[in-house]
């Protein structure tokens, strides 16, 4: 099948590449000429494990192309995916200006019947509006369906290639058949393709992310209570996660969620509710808890060192909002650095993939951006684990203890082994787990 994907961001590039991997001819379109030129040279603008290899392979075999010319790409395609950004506005509602512009442009470029597929995360009712706009500018019939993505950054290729479900919101049997044909190679393991109306498909995406965000914030509140009463949230998580009605995923406490989906989608579904005269009270609380949680490590630093952090050096292990990505959108590290810097702290930081994006997001709120985790820890009064990269899970504690000013780790992701910390006389504060107070001595 010949496909056009408009937008070469995270969703568009992953989707286009995976469709090409299954033998389709895909043209990815973007208005950013520099990005398209880089993609043609094999330079990937985002970090996603496995994506670079697939892009290079499919481009070299002629299945995947990149262009700045939407007209040619649309003319050549039967199916056109819209995968442009929908950033939140000041009121939290999604900015759909790029989606609507692309819809009109597709209508103008159509040289025959087309199926437009909304792949961007869009509010309820967007597919209907896209259909009107596209057909207003076209003399050919244009159908629209909603096909939300459910990709986890850091595992997007596997998620796309082996989905747990595919949601298709369409209006007629022909469009369902076309989409079923396109996704057939991806669901040979028995994953369901769920047919529904476009409005329900749009709501499904927001509801799914809102539920996952709710689980995270719920567990973070449980962790706060555990800190107050002396319980261990790790045991609590195992206890409730073993209930088949609840399950284990997304019950890990930490310093808040971030990224491209949860913060934006929670805001968007709340905005949709308000536009329809309803206040989504649970999600109001979810968002408030998440913002509070991003400041948890700052609270702990202030409890230990006081409000004035002048002369205190803090190291950050990890900047990205989660491992296996360089995405800094809504990352807790941003809040942590700004709050600590405002109190006078000197801050050093590292991340295996997000140093460049971290510098863009945080700037001079970090004093030193370093490659090595031990260089970050050298001379620090405390190290904060912000991102659960695997290389931070089992450090050389002898080396670490020998270089830090004080053996103090604030484990914002609860990844360090308690027995190792105790064996090497480290103090440790986590999230909802009992502190380890092995040593409070400061090197002179």
* Residue positions annotated with a catalytic role: 261
Residue 259, both tokens: 């990224």
| Angstrom distances, CA of residue 346 to CA of 81, 249, 338, 356, 365 | 46, 36, 11, 20, 9
Residue 88 · residue 95 · CB < 8 Å: yes
Cβ burial, residue 230 (10 Å; 0-12/13-18/19+)? exposed
Select from 145, 144, 193, 146 the least CA-distant residue to 166. Answer: 193
Q: Report the C-alpha gap between 422 and 7 in whole angstroms.
A: 50
First to last CA, the chain: 69
Cα–Cα nearest to 51, from 178, 157, 185, 207: 157
CA distance linking residue 22 with residue 184, whole number of Å: 10
Among the listed residues 312, 290, 292, 317, the one whose alpha carbon sits nearest the alpha carbon of residue 301: 312
Angle between helix axes 198-229 and 233-241 (nearest 10 degrees) is 140
């Amino acid at each position: 099948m010949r496909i056009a994907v408009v937008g070469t961001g995270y969703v568009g590039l992953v989707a286009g590449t995976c469709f090409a991997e299954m033998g389709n001819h895909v043209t990815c379109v973007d208005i950013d000429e520099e990005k398209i030129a880089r993609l043609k040279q094999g330079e990937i603008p985002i970090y996603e494990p496995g994506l670079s290899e697939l892009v290079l392979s499919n481009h070299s075999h002629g299945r995947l192309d990149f262009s700045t010319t939407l007209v040619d790409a649309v003319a050549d395609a039967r199916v056109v995916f819209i995968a442009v950004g929908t950033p939140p506005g000041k009121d939290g509602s999604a900015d759909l200006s790029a989606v609507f512009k692309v819809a009109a442009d597709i209508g103008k470029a159509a040289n025959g019947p087309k199926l437009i597929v909304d792949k961007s995360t869009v509010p309820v009712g967007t597919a209907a509006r896209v259909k009107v706009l596209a057909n207003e500018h076209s003399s050919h019939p244009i159908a629209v369906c909603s096909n939300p993505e459910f990709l986890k950054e850091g595992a997007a290729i596997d998620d796309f290639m082996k989905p747990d479900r595919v949601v298709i919101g369409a209006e007629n049997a022909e469009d369902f058949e076309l989409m079923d044909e396109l996704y057939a190679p991806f669901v040979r393991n028995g994953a369901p393709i769920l047919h529904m109306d476009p409005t329900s498909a749009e709501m499904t995406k927001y509801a799914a992310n809102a539920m996952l965000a709710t689980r995270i914030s719920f567990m973070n509140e449980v962790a706060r209570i555990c800190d107050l009463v002396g319980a261990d949230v790790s045991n609590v998580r195992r206890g409730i996660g073993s209930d088949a009605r609840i399950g284990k995923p997304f019950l890990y406490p930490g310093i808040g969620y971030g990224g491209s989906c949860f913060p934006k989608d929670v805001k968007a579904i709340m905005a949709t509710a308000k536009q329809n005269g309803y206040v989504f009270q649970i999600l109001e609380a979810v968002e408030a808890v998440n913002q509070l949680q991003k400041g948890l490590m700052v609270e702990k630093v202030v409890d230990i060192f006081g409000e004035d952090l002048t002369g205190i050096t803090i190291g950050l292990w990890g900047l990205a909002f989660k491992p296996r990505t360089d995405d800094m959108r809504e990352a807790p590290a941003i809040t942590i650095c700004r709050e600590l810097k405002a109190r006078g702290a000197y801050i050093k930081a590292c991340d295996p993939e997000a140093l460049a994006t971290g510098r863009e997001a945080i700037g001079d709120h970090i004093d030193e951006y370093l490659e090595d985790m031990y260089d970050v820890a050298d001379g620090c009064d405390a190290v904060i684990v912000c991102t659960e990269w695997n290389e931070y899970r089992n450090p050389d504690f002898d080396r670490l203890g020998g270089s830090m000013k004080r053996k103090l780790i604030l484990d914002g992701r609860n990844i360090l082994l308690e027995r190792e910390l105790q064996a090497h006389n480290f103090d440790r504060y986590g999230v909802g787990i009992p502190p380890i107070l092995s040593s409070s001595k400061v090197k002179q």
